[in-house]
Amino acid sequence: MLREVTATRYIEPLRAGGSVPGVVEADDLGTYVVKFTGSAQGRKALVAEIIVGELARRLGLRFPELVLVDFDPAVAADEPHQEVQDLLRASAGLNLGMDLLPGAADFTPEALDVDPLEAGKVVWLDALTANVDRTVHSSNLMIWPTSGLQPPRLWLIDHGAALVFHHRWGASPPDKAYDFRHHALGGYAPDTAAADAGLAPLVTEAALREIVGLVPEAWLADEPGFSSPDEVRDAYVTHLLSRARSSATWLPTGFPSREELAAADAKRAAATEEGRPAWLKRVPDLHGKPSAERDWSGHVG
Protein backbone atom coordinates (compact mmCIF):
# COMPACT_ATOMS: atom_id res chain seq x y z
CA MET A 1 0.00 0.00 0.00
CA LEU A 2 1.07 3.59 -0.55
CA ARG A 3 1.87 5.43 2.67
CA GLU A 4 -0.74 7.95 3.78
CA VAL A 5 0.31 11.29 5.26
CA THR A 6 -1.53 14.41 6.33
CA ALA A 7 -0.71 17.83 4.90
CA THR A 8 0.34 20.30 7.57
CA ARG A 9 1.46 23.27 5.46
CA TYR A 10 0.85 24.44 1.90
CA ILE A 11 4.05 26.08 0.70
CA GLU A 12 3.45 27.24 -2.88
CA PRO A 13 1.74 26.37 -6.15
CA LEU A 14 3.77 25.19 -9.15
CA ARG A 15 2.45 26.91 -12.24
CA ALA A 16 4.68 25.13 -14.74
CA GLY A 17 2.10 22.36 -15.19
CA GLY A 18 -1.50 22.73 -16.29
CA SER A 19 -2.73 20.88 -13.20
CA VAL A 20 -1.13 23.46 -10.84
CA PRO A 21 0.37 21.02 -8.33
CA GLY A 22 1.55 22.39 -5.01
CA VAL A 23 4.52 21.93 -2.70
CA VAL A 24 3.23 20.65 0.62
CA GLU A 25 4.76 19.67 3.97
CA ALA A 26 3.26 16.68 5.78
CA ASP A 27 3.12 15.24 9.27
CA ASP A 28 5.94 12.79 8.50
CA LEU A 29 8.23 15.86 8.07
CA GLY A 30 8.45 15.14 4.35
CA THR A 31 7.97 17.64 1.53
CA TYR A 32 5.92 16.58 -1.47
CA VAL A 33 4.76 17.84 -4.85
CA VAL A 34 1.03 17.20 -4.63
CA LYS A 35 -1.33 16.73 -7.54
CA PHE A 36 -4.92 17.48 -6.62
CA THR A 37 -8.13 15.64 -7.41
CA GLY A 38 -9.85 18.94 -8.14
CA SER A 39 -7.59 19.84 -11.07
CA ALA A 40 -8.88 20.08 -14.62
CA GLN A 41 -7.13 16.79 -15.50
CA GLY A 42 -9.23 14.99 -12.90
CA ARG A 43 -8.68 11.72 -11.08
CA LYS A 44 -7.49 9.80 -14.14
CA ALA A 45 -4.26 11.79 -14.17
CA LEU A 46 -3.60 10.60 -10.62
CA VAL A 47 -4.45 7.02 -11.56
CA ALA A 48 -1.91 7.24 -14.39
CA GLU A 49 0.70 8.68 -12.01
CA ILE A 50 0.38 5.71 -9.68
CA ILE A 51 0.25 2.95 -12.28
CA VAL A 52 3.05 4.22 -14.51
CA GLY A 53 5.25 5.49 -11.69
CA GLU A 54 5.06 2.26 -9.70
CA LEU A 55 5.56 0.22 -12.86
CA ALA A 56 8.69 2.27 -13.57
CA ARG A 57 9.96 1.40 -10.11
CA ARG A 58 9.30 -2.32 -10.70
CA LEU A 59 11.30 -2.10 -13.91
CA GLY A 60 14.33 -0.64 -12.13
CA LEU A 61 13.92 2.99 -13.21
CA ARG A 62 14.35 5.84 -10.74
CA PHE A 63 11.08 7.42 -9.65
CA PRO A 64 10.34 9.41 -6.45
CA GLU A 65 8.22 7.83 -3.74
CA LEU A 66 4.48 8.36 -4.05
CA VAL A 67 2.24 8.91 -1.02
CA LEU A 68 -1.45 9.55 -0.51
CA VAL A 69 -1.90 12.99 1.03
CA ASP A 70 -4.91 13.78 3.22
CA PHE A 71 -5.42 17.45 2.44
CA ASP A 72 -7.52 19.96 4.38
CA PRO A 73 -7.87 23.23 2.40
CA ALA A 74 -7.64 25.11 5.71
CA VAL A 75 -3.84 24.59 5.72
CA ALA A 76 -3.70 26.84 2.62
CA ALA A 77 -5.88 29.63 3.95
CA ASP A 78 -3.16 32.21 3.22
CA GLU A 79 -2.84 31.33 -0.47
CA PRO A 80 -3.64 34.66 -2.22
CA HIS A 81 -4.67 33.47 -5.68
CA GLN A 82 -8.38 32.82 -6.08
CA GLU A 83 -8.02 30.19 -8.81
CA VAL A 84 -5.60 28.21 -6.66
CA GLN A 85 -7.95 28.49 -3.68
CA ASP A 86 -10.79 27.15 -5.85
CA LEU A 87 -8.62 24.17 -6.81
CA LEU A 88 -7.66 23.44 -3.21
CA ARG A 89 -11.21 23.71 -1.90
CA ALA A 90 -12.28 21.21 -4.56
CA SER A 91 -9.55 18.79 -3.42
CA ALA A 92 -10.37 18.10 0.21
CA GLY A 93 -9.53 14.51 1.15
CA LEU A 94 -7.03 12.17 -0.48
CA ASN A 95 -4.65 13.52 -3.13
CA LEU A 96 -1.37 12.24 -4.56
CA GLY A 97 2.06 13.39 -3.44
CA MET A 98 5.47 12.77 -4.97
CA ASP A 99 8.60 13.08 -2.85
CA LEU A 100 10.32 16.38 -3.60
CA LEU A 101 13.91 15.88 -4.76
CA PRO A 102 15.77 18.80 -3.13
CA GLY A 103 17.90 20.73 -5.58
CA ALA A 104 16.93 18.57 -8.57
CA ALA A 105 17.42 20.14 -12.00
CA ASP A 106 15.45 19.77 -15.21
CA PHE A 107 17.03 17.34 -17.62
CA THR A 108 18.87 18.80 -20.61
CA PRO A 109 20.90 16.87 -23.18
CA GLU A 110 23.99 18.87 -22.27
CA ALA A 111 23.73 18.09 -18.56
CA LEU A 112 23.84 14.30 -18.55
CA ASP A 113 25.06 11.56 -20.86
CA VAL A 114 22.46 8.79 -20.81
CA ASP A 115 23.44 5.21 -21.56
CA PRO A 116 21.62 3.77 -24.64
CA LEU A 117 20.18 0.92 -22.56
CA GLU A 118 18.81 3.26 -19.90
CA ALA A 119 17.40 5.49 -22.63
CA GLY A 120 15.87 2.42 -24.24
CA LYS A 121 14.21 1.38 -20.97
CA VAL A 122 12.61 4.81 -20.51
CA VAL A 123 11.37 4.84 -24.11
CA TRP A 124 10.07 1.28 -23.71
CA LEU A 125 8.11 2.22 -20.57
CA ASP A 126 6.62 5.26 -22.30
CA ALA A 127 5.65 3.19 -25.33
CA LEU A 128 4.10 0.48 -23.16
CA THR A 129 2.03 2.98 -21.20
CA ALA A 130 1.28 5.31 -24.12
CA ASN A 131 2.94 8.25 -22.40
CA VAL A 132 2.83 10.98 -25.04
CA ASP A 133 4.34 13.65 -22.79
CA ARG A 134 8.09 12.99 -22.64
CA THR A 135 9.38 14.84 -25.67
CA VAL A 136 12.37 16.99 -26.57
CA HIS A 137 10.20 19.99 -25.74
CA SER A 138 8.83 18.66 -22.44
CA SER A 139 11.01 15.91 -21.02
CA ASN A 140 9.41 15.32 -17.60
CA LEU A 141 12.83 14.11 -16.51
CA MET A 142 14.95 15.39 -13.64
CA ILE A 143 18.63 15.16 -12.73
CA TRP A 144 19.35 14.43 -9.07
CA PRO A 145 21.53 14.84 -7.12
CA THR A 146 23.23 17.81 -8.73
CA SER A 147 25.96 18.15 -6.10
CA GLY A 148 27.67 16.10 -3.44
CA LEU A 149 29.44 12.76 -3.49
CA GLN A 150 26.82 10.84 -5.46
CA PRO A 151 26.87 11.06 -9.28
CA PRO A 152 23.88 12.72 -10.97
CA ARG A 153 21.16 10.32 -12.02
CA LEU A 154 18.14 10.44 -14.29
CA TRP A 155 14.75 10.48 -12.53
CA LEU A 156 11.32 10.13 -14.09
CA ILE A 157 8.41 12.37 -13.07
CA ASP A 158 4.93 13.35 -14.22
CA HIS A 159 3.00 10.55 -15.90
CA GLY A 160 -0.44 12.13 -15.77
CA ALA A 161 -0.68 12.17 -19.58
CA ALA A 162 0.07 8.46 -19.91
CA LEU A 163 -2.47 5.62 -20.32
CA VAL A 164 -4.28 7.57 -23.02
CA PHE A 165 -6.44 4.50 -23.65
CA HIS A 166 -8.34 4.99 -20.38
CA HIS A 167 -9.96 8.16 -21.72
CA ARG A 168 -11.79 6.10 -24.36
CA TRP A 169 -11.82 2.48 -23.33
CA GLY A 170 -11.69 0.16 -26.33
CA ALA A 171 -10.70 2.85 -28.83
CA SER A 172 -6.95 2.08 -28.66
CA PRO A 173 -6.02 -1.55 -29.34
CA PRO A 174 -3.23 -2.97 -27.16
CA ASP A 175 -0.88 -3.29 -30.14
CA LYS A 176 -1.25 0.33 -31.27
CA ALA A 177 2.01 2.02 -32.25
CA TYR A 178 2.82 5.62 -31.33
CA ASP A 179 5.29 8.07 -32.86
CA PHE A 180 8.19 8.40 -30.40
CA ARG A 181 10.74 9.86 -32.81
CA HIS A 182 10.79 13.08 -30.79
CA HIS A 183 11.16 11.38 -27.43
CA ALA A 184 13.32 13.33 -24.96
CA LEU A 185 15.94 10.55 -25.02
CA GLY A 186 15.77 9.78 -28.73
CA GLY A 187 19.11 11.43 -29.32
CA TYR A 188 20.91 8.85 -27.14
CA ALA A 189 20.40 5.95 -29.58
CA PRO A 190 17.93 4.13 -27.28
CA ASP A 191 18.50 0.37 -27.30
CA THR A 192 14.82 -0.52 -27.24
CA ALA A 193 15.44 -4.09 -28.40
CA ALA A 194 17.61 -4.85 -25.35
CA ALA A 195 15.14 -3.01 -23.13
CA ASP A 196 12.27 -5.08 -24.52
CA ALA A 197 14.14 -8.32 -23.89
CA GLY A 198 14.82 -7.38 -20.29
CA LEU A 199 11.61 -5.58 -19.31
CA ALA A 200 8.75 -7.34 -21.08
CA PRO A 201 9.07 -10.52 -18.96
CA LEU A 202 8.79 -8.39 -15.80
CA VAL A 203 5.33 -7.10 -16.75
CA THR A 204 3.36 -10.01 -15.32
CA GLU A 205 -0.27 -10.25 -14.35
CA ALA A 206 0.68 -10.54 -10.68
CA ALA A 207 2.87 -7.42 -10.81
CA LEU A 208 0.19 -5.41 -12.61
CA ARG A 209 -2.49 -6.46 -10.14
CA GLU A 210 -0.32 -5.35 -7.23
CA ILE A 211 0.35 -2.00 -8.88
CA VAL A 212 -3.26 -1.32 -9.90
CA GLY A 213 -4.29 -2.35 -6.41
CA LEU A 214 -2.48 0.74 -5.08
CA VAL A 215 -5.04 3.08 -6.68
CA PRO A 216 -7.66 4.28 -4.16
CA GLU A 217 -11.06 2.76 -4.87
CA ALA A 218 -12.74 6.17 -4.93
CA TRP A 219 -10.61 7.21 -7.91
CA LEU A 220 -11.94 4.26 -9.93
CA ALA A 221 -15.60 4.62 -8.97
CA ASP A 222 -18.31 5.74 -11.40
CA GLU A 223 -16.22 4.90 -14.47
CA PRO A 224 -18.64 4.78 -17.44
CA GLY A 225 -19.07 1.26 -18.81
CA PHE A 226 -17.92 -0.49 -15.63
CA SER A 227 -19.99 -1.81 -12.75
CA SER A 228 -17.31 -1.63 -10.04
CA PRO A 229 -13.76 -0.45 -9.29
CA ASP A 230 -12.60 -4.07 -9.51
CA GLU A 231 -13.78 -4.22 -13.12
CA VAL A 232 -11.78 -1.08 -13.87
CA ARG A 233 -8.69 -2.61 -12.27
CA ASP A 234 -9.15 -5.72 -14.41
CA ALA A 235 -9.35 -3.54 -17.52
CA TYR A 236 -6.02 -1.86 -16.75
CA VAL A 237 -4.36 -5.20 -16.10
CA THR A 238 -5.77 -6.78 -19.25
CA HIS A 239 -4.75 -3.91 -21.51
CA LEU A 240 -1.22 -3.48 -20.17
CA LEU A 241 -0.53 -7.21 -20.04
CA SER A 242 -1.70 -7.65 -23.62
CA ARG A 243 0.36 -4.66 -24.69
CA ALA A 244 3.50 -6.02 -23.05
CA ARG A 245 3.01 -9.34 -24.81
CA SER A 246 2.62 -7.64 -28.20
CA SER A 247 5.65 -5.38 -27.87
CA ALA A 248 7.08 -6.52 -31.20
CA THR A 249 4.27 -4.62 -32.94
CA TRP A 250 4.86 -1.26 -31.26
CA LEU A 251 8.54 -1.26 -30.28
CA PRO A 252 9.89 2.22 -31.18
CA THR A 253 12.91 2.35 -33.50
CA GLY A 254 14.52 4.80 -35.92
CA PHE A 255 15.24 7.76 -33.66
CA PRO A 256 16.78 10.88 -35.18
CA SER A 257 20.14 11.90 -33.77
CA ARG A 258 20.57 15.01 -31.63
CA GLU A 259 22.20 16.71 -34.63
CA GLU A 260 19.20 15.89 -36.81
CA LEU A 261 16.80 17.16 -34.16
CA ALA A 262 18.81 20.39 -33.81
CA ALA A 263 18.78 20.85 -37.57
CA ALA A 264 15.02 20.30 -37.70
CA ASP A 265 14.49 22.83 -34.90
CA ALA A 266 16.69 25.36 -36.67
CA LYS A 267 14.77 24.85 -39.91
CA ARG A 268 11.45 25.28 -38.08
CA ALA A 269 12.70 28.44 -36.35
CA ALA A 270 13.94 29.87 -39.66
CA ALA A 271 10.58 29.16 -41.30
CA THR A 272 8.78 30.88 -38.42
CA GLU A 273 11.06 33.90 -38.65
CA GLU A 274 10.58 34.08 -42.42
CA GLY A 275 6.84 34.25 -41.95
CA ARG A 276 6.99 37.16 -39.53
CA PRO A 277 6.16 40.68 -40.70
CA ALA A 278 9.16 42.97 -41.03
CA TRP A 279 8.24 45.08 -38.01
CA LEU A 280 8.12 42.01 -35.77
CA LYS A 281 11.54 40.77 -36.92
CA ARG A 282 13.07 43.92 -35.45
CA VAL A 283 11.72 43.28 -31.94
CA PRO A 284 14.74 42.57 -29.67
CA ASP A 285 14.98 39.49 -27.49
CA LEU A 286 14.29 40.86 -24.02
CA HIS A 287 14.52 37.50 -22.30
CA GLY A 288 18.08 36.48 -23.12
CA LYS A 289 21.53 38.03 -23.10
CA PRO A 290 23.45 39.34 -26.11
CA SER A 291 25.11 36.61 -28.13
CA ALA A 292 28.55 37.73 -26.90
CA GLU A 293 27.57 36.67 -23.39
CA ARG A 294 26.61 33.13 -24.41
CA ASP A 295 28.98 30.20 -24.36
CA TRP A 296 29.43 27.81 -27.27
CA SER A 297 26.83 25.34 -25.97
CA GLY A 298 24.11 27.96 -26.30
CA HIS A 299 23.61 28.42 -22.56
CA VAL A 300 23.54 31.87 -21.07
CA GLY A 301 26.95 32.57 -19.57
Residue pLDDT, tens place only, 152-168: 999 999 999 999 999 99
pLDDT exceeds 70 at position 64: yes
Provide the number of structural domains found in the chain.
2
136 and 224 inside one domain: yes
112 and 229 inside one domain: yes
pLDDT tens-digit readout, 264-285: 778 877 887 777 666 555 544 4
In this structure, is residue 54 part of a structural domain?
yes
115 and 239 inside one domain: yes
Q: Which residue has the higher pLDDT, 211 or 137?
A: 211
Cα–Cα separations (whole angstroms), residue 139 to 42, 135, 157, 271: 22, 5, 9, 24
Cα–Cα separations (whole angstroms), residue 124 to 34, 209, 273: 26, 20, 36
Global confidence as pTM:
0.88
Single residue among 99, 129, 148 that ends a domain in this structure:
99
In this structure, is residue 265 part of a structural domain?
no
In this structure, is residue 15 part of a structural domain?
yes
pLDDT exceeds 70 at position 293: no
In this structure, is residue 291 part of a structural domain?
no
Strands (E) located in the chain: 3-13, 22-26, 31-35, 66-71, 93-99, 105-106, 141-144, 153-156
Calculate what percentage of the chain has a pLDDT beyond 90. Answer: 79
Quote the domain boundaries for residue 135.
Answer: 105-250
Single residue among 40, 68, 99 that ends a domain in this structure:
99
Q: What local confidence, expressed as pLDDT, does residue 285 receive?
A: 45
93 and 112 inside one domain: no
pLDDT exceeds 50 at position 289: no
In this structure, is residue 179 part of a structural domain?
yes
In this structure, is residue 68 part of a structural domain?
yes
Both ends of the chain: CA-CA distance in Å? 47
73 and 92 inside one domain: yes
pLDDT tens-digit readout, 103-143: 999 999 888 999 999 999 999 999 999 999 999 989 999 99
